[in-house]
Chain A
Amino acid sequence: MKLTDEMKNVLKVGSDSSVVTYITTSSCDGSCNVHLQPYTDVYKDEFIFAPDLFAQKTKININENRLAVLTIAHPSEGKTWAFRGPCNLIQWGHPPKFNFHGVTAGDVLEKWGDWGSLESFDSVDDDIKPKAIGQRGVFVLKVEEVYSYKADESGSKIL
């Protein structure tokens, strides 16, 4: 599923209109976790990437249940979007040919494995700026559905 230009502009690394997001995952028996993610990028119009910066519970959930929902937290006016689809964590140590829905670990880690080379981690507010950086890998969300979380139309499909 191709994201719209507006969505891509908001989620692209270094965008002027960049946003803080949440990634919701679940264990395979329904235990949810909502993970704060201030850094995102878009790949091939349909994947959302985000760095793993000590996202322990998200990592555990993704290991057993490869699904996630990414929602826009701030600023959200006009961007009440929820992106849902298969999600995986591509980590240092994966063989370069490791493939997730057509995305290979080699391609992902070469460009996004050192997120700090793409954008400064200082680009976010001090309140959520990590005290120390230890990137373990890259979350890859393949968007298969976009729904609205606007109060009066929650769940209605946008894409």
Chain B
Amino acid sequence: MAILSPRMKGWLERFGCHIGTATKSGFPTTIVVEQAAVEGDSVVSFDLTDAQVNHIKDNMQENPYVALAPHAIASIRAAYQFKGAATLSGNTLKVDVKEIYCTKPGPEAALRLDTLPQEHVIKFEESRWRDVGPPK
């Protein structure tokens, strides 16, 4: 289980994510959900529209492992990627995050954060960003 930092939670909840899914044979589809809720340390929950459910439900049945990247201004201010196992129940998509990466272009791209102790993740964030989440 990966642990989301308070900063990650703040940006995810406010702006939602681009959610990358694929068939078992690798045909990719991305949907965008503009809000999320974080449950506990590692579960990100999204309320999908009927159109979004129809768009990804076949992929979810074949291959529930998805990738998330923060939407809107959070793509700039919160350059993270999250990967994990998703469960689609009705219009609710829940993702249990297993991997967290930095996605800032350049040498820090793909730096894995979930394998670091939480205090190191917080230090990493504090060295790069002054905020602890999006503006209220």
Co-assembled chains A and B: yes
Q: Are B18 and A30 in contact (CB under 8 A)?
A: no
Instruction: Kindly count the residue-residue contacts between A and B in the assembled complex, taking CB atoms under 8 Å apart.
Output: 165
Q: Does B109 contact A (CB under 8 A)?
A: yes
Q: What residues on A are CB-neighbors of B54 within 8 Å?
A: 154-155
Q: What residues on B are CB-neighbors of A151 within 8 Å?
A: 32-34, 49, 51-52
Q: What residues on B are CB-neighbors of A30 within 8 Å?
A: 22-26, 62-63, 65
B27's contact among A26, A74, A80, A153, by CB below 8 Å, is which? A26
Q: Does A12 contact B (CB under 8 A)?
A: no
Q: What residues on B are CB-neighbors of A24 within 8 Å?
A: 18, 20, 28-30, 67
Q: What residues on B are CB-neighbors of A29 within 8 Å?
A: 24-26
B109's contact among A27, A56, A84, A125, by CB below 8 Å, is which? A56
Q: Are B28 and A67 in contact (CB under 8 A)?
A: yes
Q: Does B87 contact A (CB under 8 A)?
A: no
Interchain nearest-CB distance for B79 vs A (Å): 6
**Range of interface residues on B (Cβ < 8 Å):** 35 or more
Q: Which of B10-47 contact A (CB under 8 A)?
A: 18, 20-34
Q: What residues on B are CB-neighbors of A35 within 8 Å?
A: 81, 103, 109
Q: Does A132 contact B (CB under 8 A)?
A: yes
Interchain nearest-CB distance for B21 vs A (Å): 6
Q: Does A138 contact B (CB under 8 A)?
A: no
Q: Does B108 contact A (CB under 8 A)?
A: yes
Interchain nearest-CB distance for A22 vs B (Å): 5
Q: Does B94 contact A (CB under 8 A)?
A: no
Q: Does A53 contact B (CB under 8 A)?
A: yes
| Bound CA–CA A82/B56 (angstroms) | 14
| Bound CA–CA A71/B62 (angstroms) | 23
Q: Are A149 and B32 in contact (CB under 8 A)?
A: yes
A71's contact among B24, B30, B76, B79, by CB below 8 Å, is which? B30
Interchain nearest-CB distance for A150 vs B (Å): 8
12 pairs from A and B in contact (CB 8 Å cutoff): A22-B20, A22-B75, A34-B68, A38-B105, A53-B105, A54-B106, A71-B18, A73-B72, A76-B32, A84-B29, A131-B106, A131-B108
